Amino acid sequence: MLDLADISLVLRGTLVSPQPDRSLSIREDCVVVIDSKGFIAAIDNSTGSALADEVDTLVREGKVGQDKVVELGDGWALPGFVDTHIHAPQYPNAGMALDKPLMEWLEAYTFAAESRIDKDPAYAQRVYQKLVQRLLENGTTAASVFGTISVEANLTLAKAFLDAGIRGQIGKVAMDQNSLPSYIETTASSLADTRRFIESMHSLVASLPDEQRLIEPVVTPRFVPTCSIELMKGLSDLAKEKNVRIQSHMCESQGMVDVCREMLGGKSDVELLDQLGLLNDRSLMAHCTHSTADDLARLSRTGTAIASCPLSNVYFSAERQLPLREAWNAGVKVGLGSDISGGYRVGIDENMRWAVGVSRLREGERQRDLRESRRQEERSASLAISWKEALYLATLGGAQALGLDKERKVGALEVGSAFDAQWIQLGHPRSRVDWFDVEEEEGGVVKRVSTEEKLEKWFCNGSEVDRKAVWVQGKRVCSRPEPW
CATH number at residue 462: 2.30.40.10
Q: Which domain holds residue 91?
A: 81-407
For 462, the 3-state DSSP assignment is coil
Tell which of 407, 431, 466 closes a domain.
407
What pLDDT does 352 receive?
Answer: 98
* Whether 363 and 437 share a structural domain: no
Q: Tell me, yes or no, whether 75 and 91 share the same domain.
A: no
In the prediction, which pLDDT does 377 show?
60
389 and 467 in a single domain? The answer is: no
The domain boundary residue, chosen from 372, 407, 442: 407
Contact 107, 175 (CB under 8 A): no
Residues 255 and 374 in one domain: yes
Q: What's the pLDDT at 47?
A: 84
Distance CA 212, CA 289 (A): 35
pLDDT for the residue numbered 46: 86
Last residue of a domain, one of 407, 440, 474: 407
Does 424 share its domain with 335?
no
Q: How many domains does the chain fold into?
A: 2
Q: Do 39 and 89 share a domain, yes or no? A: no
Specify whether 188 is located in the same domain as 113: yes
Residue 440: per-residue pLDDT: 76
Taking the C-alpha atoms of residue 82 and residue 348, their distance in angstroms, rounded to an integer, is 7
Q: Tell me, what amino acid is at 126?
A: R
Angle at 220 between CA 106 and CA 328, to 5 degrees: 90
Residue numbers in the chain where pLDDT is lower than 50: none
CATH number for the domain spanning 110: value is 3.20.20.140
Question: What is the model's pLDDT at position 410?
Answer: 98
Q: Are residues 66 and 31 in the same domain?
A: yes
Give the residues across from 476 on adjacent strands: 471
Packing angle between helix 121-137 and helix 151-164, nearest 10 degrees? 30
Task: Please tell me the predicted confidence (pLDDT) of residue 376.
Answer: 63
Same domain, 44 and 94: no
Distance CA 297, CA 255 (A): 23
